[in-house]
Amino acid sequence: MSDGMTTMEAGEKSLVAQWVAAQAQARPHAAALVAGSTTLTYAELDRRANQFANYLVTLGVGPDKLVALCMQRSPEMVVAALGILRAGGAYLPLDPSAPPERMELMLRDANVVVLVTDQSSRTFPAAGFKLVDVKKDAGTIAGCSAEAPTISITPQNLAYVIYTSGSTGQPKGVEVTHCGLTNLVRWHLRAFEVTEADRASQQAALGFDAAVWELWPYLAAGASVYFPEDGVRNDPEALRGWLVANKITITFLATPLAERMMLLDWPRPADLRILLTGADTLHRRPSSRLPFALVNNYGPTECTVVATSGVVAPAESSSEPLTIGRAIDNTEVFVLDEHMQRVPAGKPGELYIGGAGLARGYRKRPEVTAQRFVANPFASSSDERLYRTGDLVRELPNGELEFLGRLDTQIKIRGYRVEPNEIVRVLDACPEVEASVVQAAEDESGDKRLVAYVVLAASANGTTAAGIRAMLRKQLPDYMIPAAFVRITTLPITSNGKVDTAALPLPKNGNMLEDEHYVAPRSVVDQRLAAIIAPLLHVERVGLHDNFFFMGGHSLLGTQLISKISETFGVELSLLNLFEHPTLAEMSQEIEQLILAKVGPMESESETEYVSPTPRRGDAA
């Protein structure tokens, strides 16, 4: 085994921050973090993290004290996170793009002592914490000792807290301990034979717990972590090129993106040896032609990122159901009925998880914690617990688990966990909305999008989807904003008083709220572009001022749109073009300019007539 793994074994009882320190001693000049032309060696990472830790200690940070981390993906973010752990604190990742009201809610709920940011121009709510700006305070931080502070930390202390969508309408913070984080790292290093020769990628947003998995196992092993640019990480072809060019050996991609990457051609031999995926339902097996192994993973935030894992056999060698693998090290899984009794293999039941990875619970939510973290009836000790996942699974003859769906209304959207009730709470607070219900619609490719059904107030004449979205964006992150709003006169109710979701109408042109008052496409380019976008987003028509992203588009669909634009018009738009010019009119203008620069004016507008595509039944906006 490598020197890096020997160091790991020598520090068997150490915590993650200490393992990284051991790598800095053993291999000080090795690259730890790489972003473009910026490289931090292990010695530099160690020194700067210690200086930051000592500065945080002077601000009152210590064991179980929470430090909010609102920074962009970067080596500086990792320095700050490692510094927080070295100071004995736990970090709370906050997405810099989060709406101010939602960020304030989490800051107040979490009771943080310090907020660390690189957002110099941003105004944060006054919530009783001290503010550290890593840019403005750089001189003061650099003047602190480069020796690690002497802090007593136990495996039961908090390592990080991540907020997830809440079924009660409020987000809730999951408290993860060093015990869970250490177990994740140890399993990962063993299962995937990680050494200092590996190169990993950091692509997940900081508020997505996959980011935890993308950092600490590799830094504990002395490997290098690379940061792709934002314009690359959601574009399959650009990302493939980046992975190949940087000789990445192991990477994690959320399921929808991983499935698209599997359809691409890859060079042989390839440096990439393992593609880790998870966070959503896997729909296809990889081809045997791919030069890397695909590993499917499952795990709620409450179980420290990963609870089960399994290598996915190629399509050519297996026709068995796709699985989420089996339990990782020091983890127990049980398939139980409503009475918490084991169900026979092959029969569906709710998945319960126990073991070293279990979170402490929900921050300041003892009632919800007691509901989801229950006593383990199969344990000899009365203090052992199981987490009720709410997921329906069945155990296959080979011992692996097949995921069958949810027992409640929780939804996974592009890797994020969404509780519809949280969206409904914000929707119903809008003056224009009397009542609402939110559902997920899934197309044949497995892409999910949120659809909101709204009963509008009598005074809500002229209400547009754009107006409602603007109000939602003040409190909800983008992945929780519905792609379509369907107007209904009343919520259909079943005989037992619940919303009759089966009676809700399909989204179609006649019942959907439009983003803006509809203006028909005018030019040839407008019309052809609308004909491309409409089936891609499963809508009946696209207006001149409709916004691709407001209608349910996202980065992965954006790459498909760019490909179809290239096929239709013979010009290349970038994902950045799409973000900067998201309306039909703006995209059309960009395309026309590229066409003029290439071949001259297109044919007369009168030569082509726009025909709205007919959607298939079951398609959602």
**Nearest Cα to 46, choosing from 62, 33, 63, 61?**
33
Which residues lie below 8 Å from residue 462, measured CB to CB, with a gap of 6+?
Answer: none
Rounded Cα distance, 3 and 45, in Å: 19
- pLDDT for residue 604: 40
| Alpha-helical segments (H) within 118-203 | 138-142, 178-191
Low-confidence stretches of the chain (pLDDT beneath 50): 1-12, 603-621
- CB contact at 8 A, 184 and 305: yes
The total of other beta-carbon atoms located within 10 Å of residue 71's CB is 22
Element at 549 (helix H, strand E): none
Confidence (pLDDT) at 558 = 84
38-41 and 31-35 as β-strands: parallel, antiparallel, unpaired?
Answer: antiparallel
Measured between alpha carbons, how far is 580 from 587 in angstroms, rounded to an integer? 9
pLDDT of residue 99: 80
Look up residue 314 and give its DSSP letter.
P
Q: What is the DSSP string of 254-269?
A: EHHHHHHHTTS---SS
d(CA 454, CA 448): 19
- Name all contacts of 369-375 with Cβ < 8 Å and 24+ positions apart: 372/302, 373/302, 374/340
Long-range contacts of residues 266-273, Cβ cutoff 8 Å, at least 24 apart: 266/240, 266/290, 266/291, 266/292, 267/291, 270/244, 271/199, 271/244, 271/247, 272/243, 272/244, 272/248, 273/249
In angstroms and rounded to an integer, the radius of gyration of the C-alpha atoms of the chain is 25
Q: Is the dihedral of CA 141, 142, 143, 149 positive or negative?
A: positive
HSE (CB half, 13 Å, CA atoms) of 309? 22
- What is the reported pLDDT for 601? 54
CA atoms within 13 A on the CB side of 94: 28
* Amino acid symbol at 186: R
In 10 A of CB 288, how many CB atoms? 10
Spatial separation of the C-alpha atoms in residues 267 and 592, rounded to whole Å: 35
Q: What is the pLDDT of residue 89?
A: 97
Specify the amino acid at residue 55: Y
Structure confidence at residue 414 (pLDDT): 66
Give the C-alpha separation, 31 to 17, whole Å: 17
**Which pLDDT belongs to residue 287?**
93
pTM above 0.85, yes or no: no
- Between the CA of residue 372 and those of 177, 356, 368, what are the distances in Å? 17, 16, 6
